[in-house]
């Protein structure tokens, strides 16, 4: 394929627009819309949570409000992150046939021009499956994927600089000691272009090099353009939704901690399990030893995005028994074209069964 890639270099835009724009371009995609890469950064700092996350479990909402940090939920998986103009987001919005079918191959293709850009700058970056970029064992930015309308979306960033202090501060933690550990870990296991080079490289030079690497990786020319009026109109509509509390708080009706007895046969319980592909948090209402209601959240990636809700639904009514849960999850994967890199049947079983250890049923 030699059709050009459309490049939308939008510079700095509002925090809300920096997230809404790639959603808008994706949902406005038509058969004649070119595959598109957006380069954009926010004018001001903000916090962004993953599609499957529960806001008040992940983010210190009061701190963010007190310090004027907006919080937005994206339609891409992954974890909560502090963002500012130290990053240039690289947002791919492609037609489905024009990207590899498997998420693992898609991430590898998306990450290649990022790695090659860093290497051109003298930064020894490398691809670390499933979807990370590392520099000598330290992570430099993250990536995520989603399906929006008919479009396939992959997102990440060019990591010029990063505020490690604020990232540690905006997260919801159990204690200040835990926050100190997070801050220490971020400093030890994350890096940026500024840290690697001892200076911040010129943004425009790096963006041009990135586009050159995209052309090489995809074997397709690039053409700079602007969003269409329809794409902007869709984006503006999405901004209204993204700014609403209903969207921000949509995940997680069950918000109890530990096990809470409702009556003799009904309990609320929750547990967390770390799968290779991310943290899974399971919160359940248990009735007479069965899953009466269930919420699954975390920083994993699962496509299509509605699959998490479908999995929750499929497990309702199941006995809280490993064999019964495994049978339900296996049937779910057989019946739906689901992709969940680093999270398989046994991970969901482990996550759900961890609830049992928090309930009187253990």
Question: At 53, is the secondary structure helix, strand, or coil?
Answer: coil
Check: CB of residue 152 under 8 Å from CB of residue 96.
yes
- Let me know if the fold of 5-248 is the same as that of 260-358: no
pLDDT category of residue 176 using cuts at 50, 70 and 90: confident
pLDDT tens for each residue of 18-46: 999 999 999 999 999 999 999 999 999 99
pLDDT tens for each residue of 297-312: 999 999 998 899 999 9
What percent of the chain clears pLDDT 70, i.e. is strictly above it? 94
* Strand 46-49 versus strand 71-73 pairing type: parallel
Mean predicted lDDT score pLDDT of the chain: 92
User: What's the pLDDT score for residue 266?
Assistant: 73
Place of tokens 């926010």: 42
The token pair that represents 116 in the structure block: 């090659």
Assigned CATH for 5-248: 3.30.930.10
Cα separation, 338 vs 318, whole angstroms: 21
User: What's the pLDDT score for residue 342?
Assistant: 93
User: What's the pLDDT score for residue 213?
Assistant: 98
What mean pLDDT is predicted for residues 185-211?
Answer: 96
pLDDT at 362 over 60: no
pLDDT tens for each residue of 331-350: 999 999 999 999 999 999 99
User: What's the pLDDT score for residue 220?
Assistant: 97
User: What's the pLDDT score for residue 66?
Assistant: 97
pLDDT at 150 over 50: yes
pLDDT tens for each residue of 56-78: 989 999 999 999 999 999 999 88
* Residue bearing the bigger pLDDT, 115 or 186: 115
- Start-to-end CA distance of the chain, whole Å, equals 57
Residue ranges per domain, the chain?
5-248, 260-358
**Cβ neighbours, 10 Å, residue 147:** 18
Enumerate residues 6+ apart whose C-beta is below 8 A from 198: none
What mean pLDDT is predicted for residues 209-228?
Answer: 98
User: What's the pLDDT score for residue 358?
Assistant: 66
pLDDT at 139 over 90: yes
Burial of residue 327 (CB within 10 Å: 0-12, 13-18, 19+) is middle
pTM (two decimals): 0.83
Cα separation, 341 vs 104, whole angstroms: 7
What mean pLDDT is predicted for residues 128-153?
Answer: 93
Query: Which CATH class name applies to 260-358?
Result: alpha beta
pLDDT tens for each residue of 239-298: 999 999 999 998 654 444 445 655 556 777 888 999 999 999 998 888 888 998 898 999
**Helix (DSSP H) and strand (DSSP E) numbers for the chain:** 13, 16
pLDDT tens for each residue of 116-137: 999 999 999 999 988 999 999 8
What percent of the chain clears pLDDT 90, i.e. is strictly above it? 78
């Amino acid at each position: 394929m030699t059709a050009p890639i459309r490049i939308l270099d939008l510079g700095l835009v509002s925090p809300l627009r920096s997230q809404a724009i790639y959603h808008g371009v994706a949902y406005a995609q038509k058969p004649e819309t070119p595959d598109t890469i957006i380069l954009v950064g926010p004018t001001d700092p903000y916090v962004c949570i993953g599609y499957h996350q529960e806001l008040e479990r992940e983010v210190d909402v009061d701190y963010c409000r007190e310090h004027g940090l907006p919080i937005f939920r994206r339609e891409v998986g992954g974890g909560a992150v502090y963002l500012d103009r130290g990053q240039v987001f690289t947002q791919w919005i492609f037609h489905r046939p024009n990207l590899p079918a498997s998420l693992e191959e898609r991430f590898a293709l998306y990450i290649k021009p990022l790695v090659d850009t860093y290497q051109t700058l003298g930064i020894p970056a490398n691809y670390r499956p499933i979807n990370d970029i590392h520099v000598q064992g330290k992570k430099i930015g993250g990536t995520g994927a989603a399906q929006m309308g008919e479009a396939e979306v992959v997102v990440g960033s060019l990591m010029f600089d990063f505020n490690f202090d604020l990232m540690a501060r905006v997260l919801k933690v159990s204690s200040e000691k835990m926050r100190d550990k997070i801050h220490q870990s971020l400093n030890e296991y994350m890096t940026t272009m500024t840290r690697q080079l001892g200076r911040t490289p010129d943004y425009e030079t790096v963006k041009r090099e990135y586009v050159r690497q995209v052309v090489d990786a995809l074997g397709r020319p690039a053409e700079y353009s602007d969003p269409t009026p329809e794409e902007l109109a869709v984006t503006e509509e999405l901004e209204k939704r993204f700014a609403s509390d209903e969207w921000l708080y949509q995940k997680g009706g069950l918000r109890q901690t530990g096990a809470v007895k409702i009556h003799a046969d009904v309990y609320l319980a929750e547990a967390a399990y770390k799968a290779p592909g991310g943290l899974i948090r399971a919160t359940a209402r248990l009735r007479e030893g069965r899953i009466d209601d269930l919420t699954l959240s975390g920083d994993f990636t699962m496509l299509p995005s509605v699959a998490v809700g479908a999995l929750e639904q499929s497990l309702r009514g199941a006995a809280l028994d490993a064999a019964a849960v495994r049978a339900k999850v296996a049937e779910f994967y057989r019946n739906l074209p689901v992709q969940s890199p680093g999270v398989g049947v046994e991970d969901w079983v482990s996550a759900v069964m961890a609830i049992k250890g928090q309930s009187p049923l253990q």
